[in-house]
A and B are shown apart, each in its own frame.
Chain A
Amino acid sequence: MAEYLRRMPDSGDAFRRSSTVWSVLKLDPWLLSGLLALAGFGLTVLNSAVDGSNAAIQRQSVYLLIGFCGMLVAAQIPVYRYARLAPWMYLIGILALVSVLFLGVGAKGAQRWLSLGGFRFQPSEIMKLAVPLTVAWYLAKRSLPPNPKYVGATLILMGLPAVLIFLQPDLGTAILVAVSGFFVLFLAGLSWRYLLTAAGIVLASIWPLWSFVMKDYQRQRVLTLLDPESDRLGAGWNIIQSKTAIGSGGWSGKGYMQGTQTLLDFLPESHTDFIIAVLAEEYGLQGVLWLVMLYLFICLRGFWISYTAQSTYGRLVGASITLTFFVYVFVNMGMVAGILPVVGVPLPLVSAGGTSIVTLLAGFGILMAISQDKRQVN
């Protein structure tokens, strides 16, 4: 594969030079406008969620700035380099995850952060990119569809970090990291027979997972999802309050900065994981649909880039990043609306939070690199 990529090094130089500003910057204008619109919309909603607190808005703006810079940098790196970088990134990520278990900084009973010179970061975030990149690197080198041996190896590649993240414990991220690897496998042509078998195994493992692996609070979250009223003031509070916020928004919403659930502190984590409820309360279903359309636009553009990518590696990475991004959106909107367990997944580019924004935008940087890759080939 690497050989294949190296065969066409400078053939696109002339084309590139004569091309638009976007090809000079190696950015995809459609994707960029979608992301900027989303970030702007997100900041507006966040402003309401934090009740106009300048500090929080500034912090988020800085993260977005860093994220977009990171995206710009990521877009400059030729796609084939990611294939080489991926295994190293993966190894560093694994080491970081192991050290988190021993040296991690805790919050709410979980150790998720590493503290480096006063700067906290979450190694599991690295894995959100490292796993699909590494799995794609591994599979793209081999002839596809993958044979059982490759499938097994892929499962180990995605399973190891997932287990380490699960031990922190962070069930939501563990599943999402594993899923991002699985998407690559699926897109690479994992046979339906394996898929059905896997589904069977997952179903069969539900009971032992429930009984032996899950922690009490995780079980509680699932139970609370099934019956939020059972613990109105405890675990059920969040879901009841977020559903109330969403539902009371109606079609047109209560108005910007007018959401009573948010203003009066009924909505928990309103500026992080539950921020969609703020949007739904203040802008109504209209606002939710606008947001969904923005996500739809970004995803479709992402799929288009993957579809037109010139290398199998590019296709797998691009589609996997896009799909993972969408799964984040789906899980977050689903959990806040009470159809999925509360697993602590932020709403991409809208929820306050640094690492997640930087990782997501870096992912889109890679997508942009892929979008430039095809022009090199042409």
Chain B
Amino acid sequence: MAAERNLLKDANREGRIFTDRLVVTLVIFAVMLGLIVIRYYHLQIVDHAIYATQSDQNRLQTQPLPPRRGLIRDRAGRLIAENEPSFVLSVVVERTGGLDEIIERLQQIIELSDDDVAAFQRRRPSTRPYAPVPLKFRISEHERARIAVNSHELPGVEIEAQLIRSYPLADLFAHAVGYVGRINERELQTLPEGPYEGTFHIGKTGIEKYYESVLLGQVGVQTVETDARGRIMRLVEKTPPVPGKDLTLNLDADLQLAAAQALQGQRGAVVAIDPRDGGVLALYSSPSFDPNSFVNGISFNEYAELRDSPDVPLFNRALQGQYPPGSTVKPAIGLAGLHMGLVTPQSKVADPGWYTLPGDDRRYRDWVLRIRGRGHADKVDLHMAIAESCDVYFYDLARTMTVDRMHDFLQDFNLGARTGVDTTNERPGVLPSSEWKLQNRGRPWYPGETLSVGIGQGYMLATPMQLALMTSVLANRGYAYKPSLVAEVDGVVPETERLQLPDIEPSHWQAVIEGMEAVVHERSGTAHAMAKGLQYRVASKTGTAQVIGIAQDEEYDEDEIAERHRNHGLFIAFAPVEAPTIALAVIVENGGGSSAAVPVARAVLDAWLANPDKGVMRHVGLASNG
């Protein structure tokens, strides 16, 4: 009983203790509750704006919409560069969980070369976090299906449709138009980031590079709602991209084709210009290559083959090839002589087949000496000198003119300087003067060297583009427009610069051009072979550029000289003479002489003037056959 009382007494005390403790507990309880409410009040009311923004940023993702690259068409509207839909396999590295496993898994599913993986790894460091990094381009329908089936075990792997540049005429315009390629690391460092968001390609050469800013267009933006895994749930806002501007070229696929066919199997180049506006009608360098190979990264082997080929197909001979222009400069020098009053159309020079400088024994031979054993005639006038390409006449004229006056006059034909044609990698050639030699060779000018320049040899070098421009000046009798490959940018004709020669008496022009006409149209002309079946009148000049120097007493024997050491054949021409619409320059490397270049020029002139319905489609077959 005592124990019971004790228990009851304890129970009362315990009740009091409990009540006390419950009060303390309730106080603590209230504090904790208050803390929670304050915390939620703070998050939801005080900092609401911050978190609302954060939540929007979370779900809203801004994605670039790459613009469509501008199309390139030839003057007849035929597509030269277009965009083909293509599927690209990309990986969002941050979402894969384990990159190595994903790549391994992909390799089991589709064909994925070590090159692809290596290129992917190179691309990775320069990509923003959570941005897809391309792993393989040109995914086939079959591969897409295989990836779709296995997509549940390929987190972070995406397939995206992309427009990829393609060149339907393949090698026909490779040097003229150039190509796009993937943006490389060096370019990534220098390019502004914005305009290239979502774009993988950039113009690497030619028109594609020169007109990059026009062709590129403006990147668009879309805001999409995505989940935490980056899957797009909804489109919120969209600013469409502005497509790049389309280009229409002055180039004509038919002329390109004519040039390509005429040059097939040879190394050489053709540049044709419409002298009326400077539009470049043809620009072809042979051999060519397929620019499509470069768009998504050429394979090492394929590149090595192009790079190591003795024919250097990647070399753009039309703009980068610098050749001695040979006799093709004779009309310009003849004109200079008339203009300076050093000769008249009637004045004649004795031609024994060679020329000596006063007080010097060295014989400067005329090319004809080897063939006829004598000169062109006892006395040679300007007409004959141009028609038959008489070296002695021009040796004499050059000597009286001196190299520096020759230099100044030829400068007006834009020789020795880039023409400024709207493309990349043009070279300037060399128009020598005594000052030039002193600066570049550190030696004074020797009189004999003047004779060489008089027949377009020696230090003198010109590109086919320069020669074509010079021919345009002759065709227009004193002026020309800066050559332009592009005729219209989105329908707008760009302004052209004019190249103007000093006023030269019309009779002087007449004399020179008559001489040039005689080259083809007179029996004794050096290109008379071309006259057969010709439906228009041509003014032209042949040329031969020495590749190796021939010692004075040596005979030039074509057969004994290795093919690579044979002379280059050159030819310039404009037509029709009365109202020229085309001026061109042709070079055939190691063609032996101008006879190799003349048929090429004929083919191009015919394509422009006599054979308007030559279809381009035949070449498409030609290209795909290799």
Contact = CB atoms under 8 A, between A and B. Distances in A.
Query: Bound pair: A and B?
Result: yes
Contacts of B548: none
Contacts of B148: none
Interface stretch (A64-72, A161-169, A181-189, A206-214): A181-189
Given A261-B55, A319-B22, A312 B11 contact: yes
B566 to A, nearest CB: 68
Interface stretch (B46-54, B177-185, B271-279, B451-459): B46-54
B13 A144 contact: yes
Interface in A1-48: 1, 3-4
A323 B33 contact: no
B43 A187 contact: no
Contacts of B237: none
Give the interface residue-count category, chain B.
35 or more
B227 A266 contact: yes
B239 interface: no
Contacts of B56: 248
A138 interface: no
Interface in B16-31: 17-22, 25-26, 29
Contacts of A265: 227-229
Interface of B: 4, 6-7, 10-11, 13-15, 17-22, 25-26, 29, 32-33, 35-37, 39-41, 43-45, 47-48, 50-52, 54-56, 58-59, 94, 225-229, 233
A175 B4 CA distance: 37
Given A264-B225, A339-B35, A4 B7 contact: yes
B62 to A, nearest CB: 16
Interface stretch (A89-97, A125-133, A282-290, A351-359): A282-290
A115 B7 CA distance: 45
A323 B21 contact: no
A226 to B, nearest CB: 16
Interface residues of A, number: 51
Given A144-B13, A243-B43, A266-B58, A248 B225 contact: no
Contact of B19 (A233, A284, A307, A323): A307
A144 B10 contact: yes
Contact of A248 (B14, B55, B228): B55
A150 interface: no
Contacts of B227: 263-266
14 contacts: A188-B14, A189-B20, A233-B94, A243-B51, A247-B44, A248-B56, A264-B228, A265-B229, A280-B44, A289-B37, A299-B29, A312-B14, A315-B18, A330-B32
A292 B54 CA distance: 26
A249 interface: yes
Given A292-B36, A303-B22, A247 B52 contact: yes
A296 B11 CA distance: 29
Contact of B44 (A144, A250, A266): A250
Contacts of B37: 289, 292
B317 to A, nearest CB: 55
Contacts of A261: 55, 58-59
A285 B40 contact: yes
B14 A326 contact: no
A134 interface: no
Contacts of A251: 44-45, 48
Contacts of B54: 244, 247-248
A257 interface: no
A366 interface: no
A299 B29 CA distance: 10
A78 interface: no
A246 B43 contact: yes
A241 B19 CA distance: 42
Nearest to A286: B44
B26 A247 contact: no
